[in-house]
Chain A
Amino acid sequence: MKVRIKWLQLVLVFSLVFALILTGCQTSDDTTTTAPAGGDNGDGNGDGDRETIDITVSLWDIEYSFPGGDPDEIAVMVSDMFDINLTSINVGWGDADEKYNTWAASGQLPDIIGAIAHVGQGRYFQWINDGVVRALPDDLSAYPVINQIMQQDEVLAFQVDGNNYFLPRQTYEDSSWWAMDRGLLVRKDWMENLGISDPVTEQDYIDLTVAFATQDPNNSGSNDTVGLVPSGVWILTSQGLPGFGYTDGRWVLEDDGYIRPAITSERTLRLMEFVKEMYQAGGLDPDFATLDNALEKFAAGQAGILARQVSSKHLKAVLDMWVTLQPDVDFFESVSILRGPSLDGEYTRFTEMAYWSESYFNANVEDDKMGRILELYDWLYSDEGMRTMMWGIEGTDWEMDDGEINLLTDVNEETGLHTPTAEIYPFTYAMSYLAAWTGDLVQYIDPAIPQGIRDMASEELDHRLANWQAPDVDWAVQAINVPEKQEIAGLTYGDDWVRFIMDSSGKDSQTLYEEMVANWNANGLQDAVEAVTNAAREQGLID
């Protein structure tokens, strides 16, 4: 009896396994037949004689643009316009690098390699030297927008032997817009509660943050607030406090004639002495070194000052969170942008290249296919392309009204918001950021962002562009490729400054700074500084 039951069990288990194997095989058969989306009978167009070309494109989450089933209207329009048949190769935000590395080593890269931001790094040069990616054609005059984009300093600087190897994914029209990607948001209502007027000097700022932390600015009766929360330790050195000169990570020419990362300079020491003083006085959130919820803290009314991005798009993120967490406190009445203390009344803007991340093209993409890809990008870069990707089809989904975009899509009665474009046209979901971060580019005119936010950000942007200094960052210097520089990519300056701020040994800051510099140099900084400076001199970038 017992034996029989055991046999029964065995038979059951094996038949289950067998059944699963069969279903497994079956699913693998099914899925191979799923054809990629995209219309292939696009002969209705003017230049209909062109053959349709298959293009594989990889980008973060691009599969959401090709959900299967019938392609949406915009997908059909795009494939008809350029006679292309796009197939998506998905990569995720967390695994793109690993996938590309294995694909590059095994010759499996797709035609368009979109999810990469490595310009100027070791792998950028390796891919070019090993012939993994192809160069763009010399003559780009047939593609007017691309032609213009490729004239930017930060693109020209990364040419190799006079060739361009990538199309930049534009974040902003030019790099000055980055000025709004660092800033301080303050609770002006708390300042009124405490009777504090606008701070000016370093001491004013320390007093203000300490008051926020200790004097119950929200009248809650308990000690539930902190002073300044940075959304990451990096923001402290990266022009989050812009009144101390350029203190960010880019390489700049210093007074001693060497080019070195500005974050290692004496200016940064001066800035960090101020932050350290604030930390010791209790004005800086004591958990700042390990914090990952600064935005939540501020939006929930637990912090007086938030150091974060203050551009239109990012202010909207704060507002959205605020509305959920403190629905009864009016955001616009309570929050304003603060500029931080300044040593000499001057402020230095944050800067980056006008693009973040790039598109590369597989070395075996032929000229014909490259031509179509360039056509597609040229359109995506254009006003027409961007508006289509952002708001849908003109006339149906939006119209131009006195220079303003007017959305015609349905409004959700509960939230009062228009239907997101990607819901109507899934194709636009990821394709809207294939050539450019369209959402960032249009953030000061996007009707999906409340007018109050856009006004607040635009006003501040205008002020910064007019009054703040542009840092002296030369992109050609950043592009210098010497092995010594690649090898110190792992130095953690920001982390070391955190140790400086939280130091408990009681050494004076000059000694601590000298120890830090000595440590960086021992790990290769000085070699890199000399190599970069020499290379810059050879290239005629400095005297």
Chain B
Amino acid sequence: MQKTSTIAPALKQKHSLSRTWRKCVENKYLLIMTLPVLVYYIIFNYMPMFNVQTGGILMAFKQHNLTRPFVEWDWVGMHYFQMMWRRPDFWISMRNTVSISFIRLAFEFPMPIFLAILLNEVHRRKAKRIFQTVYTFPHFLSWILVIGLMKDLLQINGVINGFMTTVLGRQAFNYLANDSFFANYAMLVISNLLKGVGWGSIIYLAAIAGVDPTLYEAAIVDGANRWQCIRHITWPCIKATAVILLILQVGNILNQGFDQIFNLVNGVNRNIIETIDVYIYRYAFQQSMNQSFAAASGLFKSVINFSMLITANLIAKKLGENNLF
């Protein structure tokens, strides 16, 4: 590229066109191999977006009509966005979503990495496999079941309060219905961790498995201790994956586990843990399903999530870390 910059623009363009062509011919296998992937995305993602009958994304700005084609729908502009924005409940749910997101980034995100490193330090294969299998169990339980179990444990008449009051002589505490920030967020984080940390660590274990074992042997021969091995061999291997997952997680800032929160929310903790998804469900889906409102709220979330992803990626790039694009 640098060489061509000295040549006249017209020539350069011609040159680069033919160069692209040559590149395509040279790598025709790569292009052929990508074809099925592109076809998939065109059919299942782009065709719905540019559907004439329903208008795709533009549905958010028009009044959805079930029988007539998109062009005949009434234009409503930002009506559905305002319908979402103008309630104080919306801003409360936004605040909750963002704070839950950050708390999850701080406390939940590092845990699978930590667990993967610890598991990697277990050298007995059998123990390692047993641990790993046990940790993945709860991933397969639905939130309804997990929360049913949490109720058994955490109710006033439950096991933990029973222990607290009879053995420790403490006051019973209503873990499931209280308005304490700390108690609620701790419950969200801990339950989510116990359910998902094992599953989340699998991807990091795969990354660690890519490490050449001779590296460890060489390091030990050089007299490196355990901590040094982790820092200089294991961690660099995980880091690339961790950064990518971190960027994607930041790009997911407005999606915070609907099932978990929807099943835990009640009158007492609503103002603390109700997220934007639960809010949208409450106003749009519970009583009167409205496709345009759903499209508007989806678009709103997408725009924020996408800009967060771009920002996170930019920061990663600036820091010289691995990044998405």
So, do A and B actually touch in the complex, CB under 8 Å?
yes
* Chain A residues engaging chain B, CB cutoff 8 angstroms: 97, 101, 104-105, 107, 118, 121-123, 126-127, 130-132, 226, 233, 286-287, 289-292, 363, 486-487, 489-490, 492, 494-499, 502, 504, 519, 522-524
Find out whether the CB atom of B88 lies under 8 angstroms from the CB atom of A490. no
Residue of B148, B289, B290 contacting most chain A CB atoms (<10 Å):
B289
CA distance A121 to B155 in the complex (A): 36
- Residue pairs across A and B with Cβ atoms less than 8 A apart, 27 shown, are A97-B289, A122-B289, A122-B290, A130-B65, A130-B68, A132-B67, A286-B157, A287-B155, A287-B156, A287-B158, A287-B174, A287-B176, A289-B176, A289-B266, A290-B176, A292-B148, A487-B83, A487-B283, A490-B286, A495-B267, A495-B270, A499-B179, A499-B267, A499-B270, A502-B267, A519-B88, A522-B87
Q: Count contacts on B: residues with CB < 8 A to the other chain.
A: 34
Find out whether the CB atom of B67 lies under 8 angstroms from the CB atom of A131. yes
Find out whether the CB atom of A502 lies under 8 angstroms from the CB atom of B177. yes
Instruction: Indicate whether B89 reaches chain A with its CB closer than 8 angstroms.
Output: yes
Chain A residue, CB-CB nearest to B290: A122
Q: Contact check: which of A107, A290, A490 meets B282 at CB < 8 Å?
A: A490
CA distance A322 to B54 in the complex (A): 54
For B54, the chain A residues whose CB sits under 8 A away are 105
CA distance A104 to B65 in the complex (A): 10
Chain B residue, CB-CB nearest to A118: B288
Q: Distance (Å) between the CB of A109 and the closest chain B CB? A: 10
CA distance A394 to B87 in the complex (A): 59
* Chain B residues engaging chain A, CB cutoff 8 angstroms: 54, 65-68, 83, 87-89, 148, 151, 155-158, 172, 174, 176-177, 179, 266-268, 270, 279, 282-284, 286-291
Chain B contact residues: helix, strand, loop or mixed: loop
Find out whether the CB atom of B282 lies under 8 angstroms from the CB atom of A486. no
Q: Contact check: which of A107, A289, A494, A496 meets B177 at CB < 8 Å?
A: A289
Find out whether the CB atom of A498 lies under 8 angstroms from the CB atom of B88. no
Q: Distance (Å) between the CB of B264 and the closest chain A CB? A: 9
Q: Contact check: which of A131, A490, A524 meets B287 at CB < 8 Å?
A: A490
Q: Contact check: which of A105, A292, A498, A523 meets B66 at CB < 8 Å?
A: A105
Chain B residue, CB-CB nearest to A518: B88
Find out whether the CB atom of B267 lies under 8 angstroms from the CB atom of A486. no
Q: Distance (Å) between the CB of B221 and the closest chain A CB? A: 30
CA distance A487 to B284 in the complex (A): 8
Known A97-B289, A131-B67; judge A523-B267 contact (CB<8 A): no
Find out whether the CB atom of B267 lies under 8 angstroms from the CB atom of A494. yes
Chain A residue, CB-CB nearest to B158: A287
Q: Contact check: which of B151, B156, B270, B290 meets A492 at CB < 8 Å?
A: B270
Q: Distance (Å) between the CB of B111 and the closest chain A CB? A: 27
Q: Distance (Å) between the CB of A290 and the closest chain B CB? A: 4
For A122, the chain B residues whose CB sits under 8 A away are 287-290
Known: A287-B174, A489-B286. 6 other contacts (CB 8 A): A101-B289, A132-B66, A292-B148, A489-B283, A490-B284, A502-B177
CA distance A489 to B279 in the complex (A): 12
